Amino acid sequence: MSTFPGHLDVKAIRADFPALARIVRNGNPLVYLDSGATSQKPVQVLDAERSFYELHNSAAHRGTHLLGEEATDVYEGARAKVAAFIGADVGEVVFTKNATEAINLVAYAMSNATVTAGSERFRILPGDEILITEMEHHANLVPWQQLCERTGATLRWIGVTSDGRLDLDHLDSMITGRTKLVALTHQSNVTGTIPPVTEIARAAHEKGALVLADAAQSVPHQPVDVAALGVDFLAFSGHKMLGPYGIGVLFGRADLLEAMPPFLTGGSMIEVVRMEGSTFLPPPQRFEPGVPAVAEAAGLAAAVDYLSGLGMSNVAAHEESLTAHALDVLREINGVRILGPDTTKDRGGAVAFDVEGVHPHDVGQVLDELGVAVRTGHHCAWPLHRALGLQASTRATFYVYNTHAEVEALADGIRYAQRFFGARQ
């Protein structure tokens, strides 16, 4: 799997992904353009999970026998690899089920701090404000709606422009002295837009607000350094970055995690338990109750190794090339509207589009018959679609194993769908 600056050996990479060799509907080779929903998994990740179950299976942080020690080493070794991957300290990485749970962890910790009169940094009172954006995935919208309902706080949001970028003309007035938290995506899962998170975080911190970034679409695809980004919390999922389902990550600044009350409680996260009450371990264990997902952690560590071996700058450059190609060929098809920015500047590898006269589900079905797997619907970002004047769209998302020939296959499939439904002659 040799790599060069700005270059990926895609043929060698594809050989690591068994699913990509499949022949699917109507004898067509699989063209997988849905990595924004979930990525395919290389054999290195599958082998790491299988190896754990075959040789080291035990409950981490429990038994003192050899297998228990090995399981603990695997689990904590994975934490160290993930921390290094995003430029964090080991104690700042909390394992969760996925990015959605990571975001909910922060939201419920804020609720708990409010109920128990915890740290002032996390208490949310009537009149306080949570600021989000109109381009958020539901996972970074609904938890904050619910937090506001529980506490009487006010939810506010930054709108989007016609080209799918954030409307930041009034950012200074949007963040006020009552803003307790700003939660925003690091990359839109619909338009690929990459907002100026560092700039927004700086403005939020000047007003005393905390900042959480949903990085589910960015950590797998570009170099991310949490210190340079300037956020207080950052969430992402393993299954979108070549890793297994069932494991995600919450990065939190050490001082903030230390001040946060737990979200879920039970075994593994306790310090002392008496019938009259309990005390809790320091972070990150405070936020990881129950038996740890060690096999999933082993798979995630293998995914981190795989991406690190490729080089995240190379990954980003490859996806930018594919995205530029897709924007060019889709722009040439009459009746196709690309959602979001029309260049790759501050834009990731998600290309959503609307085909005039053909419902997105019909576009997706025709593409599927041709072997091209894309996503259709509102992509868990209904408010963004409404802001762009649509109920749904078709979305192609690219990753390390995609080729320029697959971009052409997408364009050919769209033209075929137009002819099939009589939208174009």
Please state, in angstroms and rounded to a whole number, the distance separating the CA atoms of residues 64 and 8: 44
Q: How many residues does the chain have?
A: 425
For residue 368, what is the enclosing H or E element? Answer: helix 360-369
Average pLDDT of the residues in 290-304: 97
Pairing of strands 179-185, 277-280: unpaired
- Identify the pLDDT of residue 424: 67
**What are the pLDDT digits (tens) for 160-200?**
999 999 999 999 999 999 999 999 999 999 999 999 999 99
Judge contact between 340 and 352, C-beta under 8 A.
yes
- Identify the pLDDT of residue 114: 86
CA 400 from chain centre, in angstroms, equals 16
Across 95-99, 160-164, 420-424, least confident range: 420-424
For residue 83, what is the enclosing H or E element? Answer: helix 66-86
Average pLDDT of the residues in 146-152: 97
User: In this structure, what are the phi and psi dihedrals at residue 405, rounded to the nearest 5 degrees?
Assistant: -65, -35
* Strands annotated E in 306-401: 336-338, 350-355, 372-373, 375-377, 393-397
Task: Give the three-state DSSP class for 7.
Answer: strand
Average pLDDT of the residues in 399-423: 96
**What are the pLDDT digits (tens) for 249-272?**
999 999 999 999 999 999 999 999
Average pLDDT of the residues in 6-20: 94
Q: Select from 306, 329, 337, 311 the least CA-distant residue to 406.
A: 329
For the CA atoms of 133, 139, 144, 145, the dihedral, rounded to the nearest 10 degrees, stands at 90
- Residues with catalytic roles: 380
Please state, in angstroms and rounded to a whole number, the distance separating the CA atoms of residues 24 and 294: 33
Average pLDDT of the residues in 337-364: 97
- Identify the pLDDT of residue 120: 85
| Model pTM score | 0.96
Please state, in angstroms and rounded to a whole number, the distance separating the CA atoms of residues 353 and 139: 22
Please state, in angstroms and rounded to a whole number, the distance separating the CA atoms of residues 118 and 259: 8
